Amino acid sequence: MFDLTGKRALVTGASGGIGRSIALALAEQGATVALSGTNQERLAQTAEAIKGESHTLTCNLADRDAVEALVPAAMEAMGGIDILVNNAGLTRDNIFIRLKDEDWDTVIEVNLTAAFKLSRAATKAMLRQRWGRIIQITSVVAVDGNGGQGNYAASKAGLIGMSKSLAKEVATRGITVNSIAPGFITSAMTDMLNDKQRQVILDDIPMARLGTPEEIAAAAVYLSSQEAAYVTGQTLHVNGGAVLV
């Protein structure tokens, strides 16, 4: 099950956390992976942990020209593209009335617009081969909201709407488009929480623990697989039961 031998995957935000785990998991199932991120050193560290074929592609997703060049570069490196995981994302949190225009713009640009452009470029290649998997890493806050994250939640909800629309367009072409919505996952971001903040979060999670990047990666492996061919336009929530939709 879930064999990805011969598949070629581009993962954005592969330098750390969830993106790194996704890249490792796809590679473990046999996929060739192209790792994209801003930090070449950390990309190289991820690449070192991969036994099979991998490539590193430094790319700043806030740079529109760099975004346009990424899928072609990945296709050149791997000889094509079968799986795209739009994982890269950033936050610029503030309460709504203090949210600056530039913090809104940056978050939408990197989290949503870059994902749109990469999905568009990948779809074109996938249409030709009549097979493709596009996965957006969204967030529980896309459906549940979160005070202080109006921009981030908007970008993540945008990904879901975008994916559903693209999923309908390309459904007859062997291409599926799905989203994964992680809840609270252990990361550099959650490591910075103090005990009280952590307890407040855990009180709202029926499983009373944070998730792991590997648990998100497992969802990505499933959605990338041939076995998930009949699943499209969906949002797979991996959140320990914190939000049930």
Partner 1 sequence: MSDIADRVRKIVVEHLNVEADKVTEKASFIDDLGADSLDQVELVMAFEEEFNVEIPDDAAESIQTFGDAVSFLEKAVN
* Cα 88 to Cα 136: distance, rounded to the nearest angstrom: 9
152 carries an active-site annotation = yes
Minimum Å gap between C-beta 24 and partner 1 is 34
CA-to-CA separations, 121 to 24, 80, 150, 153, in angstroms, rounded: 24, 12, 28, 25
Instruction: Tell me if residue 189 falls in helix, strand or coil.
Output: helix
User: Nearer to partner 1 by C-beta: 72 or 145?
Assistant: 72
* Cα 11 to Cα 59: distance, rounded to the nearest angstrom: 11
Stretch that binds partner 1, among 101-109, 124-132, 155-163, 236-244 (CB under 8 A): 124-132
Minimum Å gap between C-beta 65 and partner 1 is 18
Pick the catalytic residue from 27, 126, 152, 216.
Answer: 152
Phi, psi (5° rounding) for residue 127? Answer: -60, -40
Phi-psi region of 163 (alpha: psi -120 to 50; beta: other; left: phi over 0): alpha
Site map for partner 1, 156-185, x if CB under 8 A?
Answer: -------------xx--x------------
Report CA torsion sign: 184, 190, 191, 197: negative
Angle at 142 between CA 101 and CA 62, to 5 degrees: 45
> By CB under 8 A, how many residues form the interface with partner 1?
6
Contacts of 32 (CB under 8 A, 6+ apart): 7, 8, 9, 52, 53, 54, 55, 78
Minimum Å gap between C-beta 129 and partner 1 is 11
User: Nearer to partner 1 by C-beta: 56 or 232?
Assistant: 232
Stretch that binds partner 1, among 77-85, 99-107, 121-129, 193-201 (CB under 8 A): 121-129
Indicate whether 64 belongs to the interface with partner 1 (CB under 8 A).
no
Minimum Å gap between C-beta 174 and partner 1 is 12
* Cα 134 to Cα 224: distance, rounded to the nearest angstrom: 8
Minimum Å gap between C-beta 232 and partner 1 is 15
Q: In the set 41, 124, 200, 209, which binds partner 1 (CB under 8 A)? A: 124
Return the active site residues: 152
The contact set with partner 1 (CB under 8 A) reads 124, 127-128, 169-170, 173
